[in-house]
Amino acid sequence: MKDFFPSVPVVRYEGPKSGNPFSFRYYNPEENIGGKSMREHLRFAVSYWHTLCGEGTDMFGSGTADKSFGGTAPMEVARNKALACFEILDKLSIDYFCFHDRDIAPEGETLSETNARLDEIVPFIQDLMKKGNKKLLWGTANCFSNPRYMHGAGTACNPEVFAFAAAQIKKALEITVKLGGEGYVFWGGREGYETLLNTDMELELDNLARLLRLAVDYGRSIGFKGFYYIEPKPKEPTKHQYDFDVASVLAFLRRYGLEKDFKMNVEANHATLAQHSFQHELRMARINGAFGSIDANQGDMLLGWDTDQFPTNVYETTLCMLEVLKAGGFTHGGLNFDAKARRGSFTHEDIFHAYIAGMDAFALGLRFAVRIIEDGRLDEFVEKRYSGYKNGIGADIISGKATMADLEAYALNKGDVLDCLESGRQEYLENLINNLMFEL
Ligand code: XUL
Ligand code: CO
């Protein structure tokens, strides 16, 4: 077995006082917390595209990191990336990975050649999965990078492109099933528009729904038992993406009768691009029975684009894990680090520092979220805040017994309701969370 990262040892839990940068301070995979091991709670995944493929290119400059892993011929590079991926999974005790079809094997001249490359790499990966006891959290098709998708994939103005996207997704579903994937993601990177002047929005949305229906049914017909996810994002690369946020995706799914087929893959940086908090998107998914999986990262609030940084903001990871716990935890989903080390963090060691930072931040988030729930004061406060709906006029509103006339009579009789109101206690609650997080 090649060793692509000779300077990095196997990373183990050494506790908060450890001075070893290649150790976990807070992530202790087998530690039981709130009834499950941390490993089971967090279900971390490596994102193949950032970790094995992303070289740090941006609009102004070429790559800074070498991700060829010593290979030269395209399929040799592909095999080396796979070997490097499984070394990373092993060294970090991560059980899952996620990929796009084009991450694991580069496109050939024709679709048949591209598919043949997938047929070559998939058994290679399958073998590594068996040997290392690793699993596929989800697969997906990259229907956004190639120039053929300049006008969209399912929402393209050309039926030829729609057909090509369908063919690509068909194959991506097949390889996901072959590798035992627990999920399949649709992220509509180009499913949107640049200007409505040239866009038939109605047809595009109808076609997007048609493609999803075809794909979902095909996947089930070949034995896919996992979750299908839509990953909302408001913009970038398009000016407007149809899967804007969780609420718009839910409305879209309901309009086309697809709501039973999909859960959400919520990404932190996509939430903030939509002017929502990460917690908001998770809450919206949860209360609609659509919580599925998470792309764990964070954006930079001073920048207006998807920076895909490794999550290190513990306040955010805590609020995220609070939502995950309230949703009953992950079933098929997990925490996929859809994140990349900064362009200036270009060494192989930086990959590990980045993952360790993200994993420890989520381990802390989990610990704090469990503490907040066990403490009970936050939940009690919210429960009490709405307790008026338990009896009297509140109970009549909930049961549907109260009519508009009843409500008017009630209000007239009261004269005013200002004296019923109580403080929302926002600052008290924010401090409560701080006290619980930073308890010394
Ligand atoms: C892009 C993004 C994608 C999806 C999968 O912003 O998040 O990598 O996660 O296609
Ligand atoms: Co993502």
Give the pLDDT score at 7: 97
Q: Is the pLDDT of residue 439 over 90?
A: no
pLDDT class for 113, splitting at 50, 70, 90? very high
Ligand in nearest proximity to the CA of 185? 1
Give the tens place of pLDDT for each residue, 234-259: 999 999 999 999 999 999 999 999 99
The residue whose CA has the least distance to atom 5 of ligand 1 is: 187
User: Is the per-residue pLDDT at 1 higher than 70?
Assistant: no
* Rounded average pLDDT over 74-103: 98
Give phi and psi for 233, each to the nearest 5.
-160, 135
pLDDT at 11 over 80: yes
pLDDT-based confidence at residue 351 (cuts at 50, 70, 90) = very high
pTM (predicted TM-score):
0.98
Q: 97 CA distance to ligand 1 centroid (A)?
A: 14
**Residue 295 scores a pLDDT above 70:** yes
Burial of 243 (0-12, 13-18, 19+ CB in 10 A): buried
pLDDT digits (tens, 9 = 90+) for 177-211: 999 999 999 999 999 999 999 999 999 999 999 99
Cross-strand partners of 23: 12
How many Å apart are CA 106 and CA 48, to the nearest integer? 13
Can you tell me the mean pLDDT for 84-88?
98
**Most ligand 1 atoms within 8 A of CB, residue of 103, 145, 187 to mutate:** 187
Name the residue at shortest CA distance from atom 6 of ligand 1. 306
* pLDDT at 292 exceeding the cut of 70: yes
Mean pLDDT of 31-38: 96
Q: Which residue, judged by its Cα, is nearest atom 3 of ligand 1?
A: 187
Cis amide prior to 6 (ω within 30 degrees): no
Catalytic annotation, residues: 100, 103
How far, in Å, is the centroid of ligand 2 from the Cα of 47? 9
Q: Which pLDDT band holds residue 440 (cuts at 50, 70, 90)?
A: confident
Residue 167 in tokens = 């063919």
Q: Which of 280, 230, 227 minimizes the C-alpha distance to 254?
A: 230
| 115 has a pLDDT exceeding 90 | yes
- Determine the pLDDT at residue 2: 75
Say how many Å lie between the CA of residue 34 and the centre of ligand 2.
Answer: 28
Report whether 142 contacts 172 (CB < 8 A): no
List, in sequence order, every beta strand (DSSP E) within 22-88: 23-24, 32-33, 36-37, 44-47
